[in-house]
Amino acid sequence: MMDERLRKQLDFSLEIDKEKNIFRQTHLTNYLRNENDAEHAWHMAIMAYLLREHANEDVDISKVMIMCLIHDIVEIDAGDTYAYDAENLKTQKAREDAAKERIFSLLPQDQKEEMIALFDEFEEAKTPEALYAHAMDNLQPLMLNDSNDGKDWRLHNVCASQVYGRQKTTKGGSEVIFNVVDEMIKKNVEKGNIRPE
């Protein structure tokens, strides 16, 4: 017979399968379809592990990877908020806070508290781990946009200040990664994929 703790853990595990149905504005490298939140999180977590030597400080890489894997689970309820959608960004926190409470409440209390603490740490972007996880969250879609010759940036008429604004936490997590990001942005401005202003 299954005990209550295991039942809750399995219920949560099944619930987060819904993250695979949340599609982002960013396309896969072949531009055949948009990526989903689960793919984005998986990609970030692997990148975080591989690129950890470029973090500004030593980080607990397990903690970083869990942050990467859970940071968008709230979008199951809150939906994806496009990085450059000023109107929906105004309500993003309230929507995600409600989702955080509902979804993580499926877990046993100790794990709920652990996941919420990690989610909140990521959102606050103050610790070395959170800043490095943000660097991955910022780099991953930028790489995909760059690989697709900026089609998503052109589609949404994005300007350089918006892209740099999105990258504001990258430098705090990895100056090395920020320098790569800066080169990619400048290249795409020169190519006309990103508006200068």
Spatial distance between the Cα atoms of 118 and 64, rounded to a whole number of angstroms: 9
pLDDT category at 106 given cuts 50, 70, 90 is: very high
The reported pLDDT for the residue numbered 18 is: 98
- Average pLDDT on 178-191 reads 98
Position 2 scores a pLDDT of 87
Block residue for tokens 């909140």 = 120
Single pTM value for the model: 0.96
Give me the pLDDT at residue 1, please: 79
Q: Which of 68, 76, 83, 166 is nearest to 121 (CA)?
A: 68
- Whether residue 50 has pLDDT greater than 90: yes
Q: Give the model confidence (pLDDT) of 116-140 as tens digits.
A: 999 999 999 999 999 999 999 999 9
183 pLDDT higher than 90 = yes
pLDDT of residue 72: 98
Provide Rg for the chain, Cα atoms: 17
Place of tokens 């017979």: 1
Q: How many other CB atoms are found less than 10 A from the CB of residue 160?
A: 16
Residue 6, pLDDT score:
98
Is it the case that residue 197 has pLDDT exceeding 90?
Answer: no
pLDDT in tens, 62-94: 999 999 999 999 999 999 999 888 898 999 999
CA 16 vs CA 101, 104, 114, 141: distances in Å? 14, 10, 16, 21
At residue 163 the predicted structure's pLDDT band, cuts being 50, 70 and 90, is very high
Mean per-residue pLDDT of the chain: 97
DSSP for 6-51, written as a single string: HHHHHHHHHHGGGGGG-EEEEEPTT-SSEEEHHHHHHHHHHHHHHT
pLDDT score recorded for residue 145: 97
Task: Write out pLDDT tens, residues 18-48.
Answer: 999 999 999 999 999 999 999 999 999 999 9
Is 90 exceeded by the pLDDT of residue 156?
yes
The dihedrals phi and psi of 45, each to the nearest 5 degrees, come to: -65, -45
Q: What is the pLDDT of residue 9?
A: 98
